[in-house]
């Protein structure tokens, strides 16, 4: 795997709730009366309720990304921009140092010290899609519409901090080859990934320079989408840690990938679908998006393939991360179902006769 991803795994924050409460008080002058650790990938997140009953999230970046202050500046600038444009996103609170972020020191597993960038951001009330008891075609269309409105706003934003090399950027998909050595080379999983890579080389690479680009949210999945109290409309979106400057169409491809994963993971929550709920959900999402945001023909020609590419990334990197940190059940949340979703997506979207309208 890439050295960057290795460092993210070994530099994941490890802090106790008491350490977090002390840091929030020292850095943001907030006294926590309730603290809970939340699910996370390479970073660490804690729910905080203060004495005034205000709710926050204390985000601690992994040690690798914490060294990239330009990226941190880009993230807080983006959150401020989206807030000003009416989107419910985790708005950062100013720290005692006058900035929208601060730093703390923590111990790694080998007892050496490492510096972490921290943010205290506004808690977005509501329920996550992954906690919804009923996932319907209309809900997927509404999520698609929401991402389209977000995409339109992102088209008018840029920051040099997002112009970076990042494994979760679909422009870097072929870098996934370095991960495959950790898997059975003759097994079905590797063969699925290699098929997607071969098609990517023949269909995406030749048009890579003409696909429209912009800053992406880059992780529109059921653990990052906040619904309203009726679970009918999207209230907001969280987690911009993977934001990157890349192909605009990738935001939609990623969302389609996770639409499939969600209903592979929780088929009992599907309601109102006719036959193949995971694929139908993705297509409802696509229709909701394209009713608001016009795609170019070259983008339509690769959307299904890029969806498969993201599923490869989620399956391979997620599985490897789980090997590195087997106690973190969140890491398996998308990686294991992603293998099933990948097979479904390949059978549907990579069929010779299949086209997105």
CB of 198 within 8 A of CB of 87?
Answer: no
Pinpoint the alpha helices (H) of 116-248. 137-154, 188-199
User: What does the pLDDT read at residue 109?
Assistant: 66
Query: What was the pLDDT predicted at 14?
Result: 82
CA distance 33 to 153: 36
Confidence (pLDDT) at 170:
98
Q: Three-class SS of residue 249?
A: helix
In angstroms, the Cα distances linking 218 to 206, 243, 310, 347 are 22, 5, 10, 24
**CA–CA distances in Å: residue 11 to residues 3, 6, 43, 79, 148:** 12, 9, 9, 25, 34
The pLDDT assigned to 1 comes to 47
Rounded distance between C-alpha atoms, residue 282 and residue 147, angstroms: 13
pLDDT of residue 328: 64
User: Which pLDDT tens digits describe the chain residue by residue (357 residues)?
Assistant: 456 666 666 677 888 899 999 999 999 999 999 999 988 777 899 999 999 999 999 999 988 899 999 999 999 999 999 999 999 999 999 999 999 999 998 876 667 888 999 999 999 999 999 999 999 999 999 999 999 999 999 999 999 999 999 989 999 999 998 888 777 766 888 999 999 999 999 999 999 999 999 999 999 999 999 999 999 999 999 999 999 999 999 999 999 999 999 999 999 999 999 999 999 999 999 999 999 999 999 999 999 999 999 999 999 887 777 666 666 666 666 578 999 999 999 999 999 999 999
Task: Tell me what pLDDT residue 319 has.
Answer: 77
And the tokens for 197? 């890579």
Q: Report in angstroms the alpha-carbon separations of 95 from 15, 98, 103, 241.
A: 19, 6, 10, 19
137-154 helix and 249-265 helix, angle to the nearest 10 degrees: 150
End-to-end, the C-alpha distance of the chain in Å comes to: 36
pTM: 0.92
Q: Cβ contacts of residue 34 below 8 Å, gap of 6+?
A: 47, 48, 49
- Asked if residue 313 lies in contact with residue 334, where contact means CB atoms within 8 angstroms, the answer is no
Q: What is the pLDDT of residue 291?
A: 98
């Amino acid at each position: 795997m890439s050295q960057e991803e290795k460092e993210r795994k070994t530099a994941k924050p490890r802090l106790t709730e008491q350490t977090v409460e002390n840091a929030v008080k020292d850095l943001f002058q907030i006294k926590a009366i309730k603290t809970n650790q939340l699910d996370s990938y390479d970073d660490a997140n804690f729910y905080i309720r203060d004495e005034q009953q205000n709710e926050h999230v204390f985000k601690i970046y992994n040690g690798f990304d914490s060294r990239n202050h330009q990226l941190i500046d880009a993230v807080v600038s983006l959150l401020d921009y989206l807030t000003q444009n009416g989107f419910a996103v985790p708005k950062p609170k100013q720290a005692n140092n006058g900035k929208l972020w601060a730093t703390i020191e923590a111990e790694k597993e080998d007892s050496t010290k490492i510096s972490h960038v921290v943010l205290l951001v506004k808690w977005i009330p509501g329920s996550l899609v992954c906690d919804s008891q009923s996932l319907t075609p209309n809900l997927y269309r509404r999520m698609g519409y929401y991402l389209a409105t977000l995409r339109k706003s992102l088209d008018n934003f840029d920051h040099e901090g997002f112009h970076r090399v990042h494994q979760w950027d679909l422009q870097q998909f072929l870098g996934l080859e370095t991960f495959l050595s950790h898997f059975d080379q003759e097994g079905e999983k590797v063969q699925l990934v290699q098929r997607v890579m071969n098609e990517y080389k023949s269909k995406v690479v030749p048009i890579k320079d003409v696909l429209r680009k912009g800053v992406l949210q880059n992780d529109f999945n059921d653990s990052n989408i906040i619904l309203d109290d009726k679970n009918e409309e999207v209230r907001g979106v969280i987690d911009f840690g993977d934001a990157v400057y890349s192909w605009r169409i990738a935001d939609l491809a990623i969302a389609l990938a996770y639409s499939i994963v969600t209903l592979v993971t929780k088929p009992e929550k599907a309601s109102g679908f006719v036959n193949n709920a995971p694929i139908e959900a993705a297509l409802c999402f696509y229709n909701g998006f394209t009713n608001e945001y016009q795609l170019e023909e070259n983008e339509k020609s690769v959307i299904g393939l890029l969806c498969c590419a993201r599923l490869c990334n989620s399956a391979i990197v997620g599985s490897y991360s789980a090997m590195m940190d087997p106690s973190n059940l969140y890491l398996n949340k998308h990686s294991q179902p992603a293998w099933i979703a990948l097979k479904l997506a390949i059978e549907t979207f990579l069929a010779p006769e299949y086209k997105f309208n």
